[in-house]
Amino acid sequence: MFRPRSICQNATRLQFRPQNVRRRLKIAGVVSIVWLTGASAAAATLEIEVTDREGHPVPDVAVTAVAPGTRPPAAAHPTAIMDQLDQQFVPEVLVVQTGTPVVFPNSDAVAHQVYSFSAAKRFALGLYRGHPYPPVTFDQPGVVVLGCNIHDQMVGYILVTDTPWFGTTDARGRLALHDVRPGEVRVSVWHPRFASDEADLERSLTLTDAAPTALTIHLTHAMRPPPPKGTGARVRDY
């Protein structure tokens, strides 16, 4: 069965396209950071770059900055989006603050069945096309591994974090975290496909509001390969 036109049109109208999702996430992230920290006069900027063993940029790396002794401000979180397109989760890695609602639209013509058995969030969204379900709220910090019970090769990840300062690296392997509280912060980078023996993924830094602080992380081990591309509804192993 090929993608019925009506669903294609819906998908376009609702703008659940990966580039739009990324843009929305970026806007949402920036808006929330500005909103959360707007009251503070002093604000620091952290610029992070992640490169792989060969020196190439690594996109989609989750970055969190934690300032010890601070409690996450109570805040309303904008809804984040984990899309499903071409039998893949898009983005592969999504970072949200604890308490964030996430929607799981299905932009494919084939039905999906999203589930997680991770301790941080157990849930299942029964067989669906389009976007019939209300958002799922991620209320505990941790890593949530997503699967599709119909397409075994689909794997996605949501990192739920308490800190208000987080993001993922762009195509150039870069991320700028603005309006971070100046002082001591602990910066962590994470990607589900980092080698298990990759070390030195957490750094302690002192941020000042005078100038942006740059941090470059070079991976020393090869990353694991990405999840396979979808083969389409008409191809599978028997």
Partner 1 sequence: MNGAWLSRVARLLAAAACFWGSSVLADVPGLDAELDLRLVAADTDLTSFTDGGLGELRFDEDHDGLRLGRLLLAYQAHLLETLSAEVALSATGDNDKNPIDVTEAFLEWRPYPRSMWRTRARLGAFYPPVSLENRRVGWQSLYSISPSALNTWVGEEIRTLGAEVEVTAAGASKGRSFDVSAVASVFGWNDPMGVLIFERGWAIHDRQTALFGRLPDPLGAGTTRHGLELFHEIDNRAGYYVGGEFRYTDRVVLRALHYDNRGDPAAMNEYESAWLTRFDSVGARIELPAGFTVVSQWMTGDTSVGDSDDGRGFLIADYDAAFLLVSKTFGRQRLTVRYDTFETDTVRNEAIFDGSQDGEAWTLAYIFEPNEHWRLAAEALRNDTTLAPRALLGLAPQAVERTLQLAVVYHF
C-alpha closest to that of 89 among 79, 80, 76, 98: 80
Task: Choose between 50 and 155: whose C-beta lies nearer to partner 1.
Answer: 155
C-alpha closest to that of 66 among 216, 181, 218, 179: 181
CB of 138 to partner 1, least distance (A): 17
What is d(CA 42, CA 22) in angstroms, rounded to the nearest whole number?
A: 29
Alpha carbon 93 to chain centroid distance? 4
Task: Choose between 105 and 192: whose C-beta lies nearer to partner 1.
Answer: 192
Task: Choose between 100 and 118: whose C-beta lies nearer to partner 1.
Answer: 118
Give the count of beta carbons closer than 10 Å to the beta carbon of residue 40. 12
Interface residue list for partner 1 (CB under 8 A): 1-2, 4, 109, 111, 113, 115, 117-118, 124, 126-127, 129, 145, 147, 149-150, 152-153, 155, 192-193, 196, 224-229, 231, 233-238
Task: Choose between 22 and 191: whose C-beta lies nearer to partner 1.
Answer: 191
CB of 115 to partner 1, least distance (A): 5
What are φ and ψ of residue 100, in 5° steps?
-80, 135
CB of 143 to partner 1, least distance (A): 9
- Answer whether 214's CB lies under 8 Å from 45's CB: no
Burial of residue 20 (CB within 10 Å: 0-12, 13-18, 19+) is: middle
CB of 149 to partner 1, least distance (A): 6
Task: Choose between 2 and 214: whose C-beta lies nearer to partner 1.
Answer: 2
CB of 40 to partner 1, least distance (A): 37
